Amino acid sequence: MRNLMKTTLASLLSLSLLPTAASAYTVGAPFPGTVTAATYYSSGSFHGAIDLASGDGCGYWGVETAVQASLAWTVNVRTTARVCNGNGSGNQNEVRHTFSNGYTFRQWHFLYVAATSKSRTCDRCQVGDEGGTGNASGPHTHMQYDKSGTNNTAWYSGTTKGKFLARDQKVGTVG
Banded model confidence at residue 152, pLDDT cuts 50, 70, 90:
very high
Distance of CA 92 to the CA centre of its chain: 13
pLDDT, residue 80, reads: 95
Q: How far apart are CA 55 and CA 165, in angstroms?
A: 12
Question: Mean pLDDT over residues 121-144, rounded?
Answer: 96
Statement: 23-174 belongs to CATH 3.40.190.10? no
Per-residue confidence (pLDDT) for residue 22, from 0 to 100: 53
Give pLDDT tens digits for 47-101.
Answer: 999 999 999 999 999 999 999 999 999 999 999 999 999 999 999 999 999 999 9
**pLDDT > 70 fraction of the chain, expressed in percent and rounded:** 87
Q: Where are the domains of the chain?
A: 23-174
Query: Using CA atoms in the order 155, 157, 163, 166, what is the torsion angle rounded to 10 degrees?
Result: -40
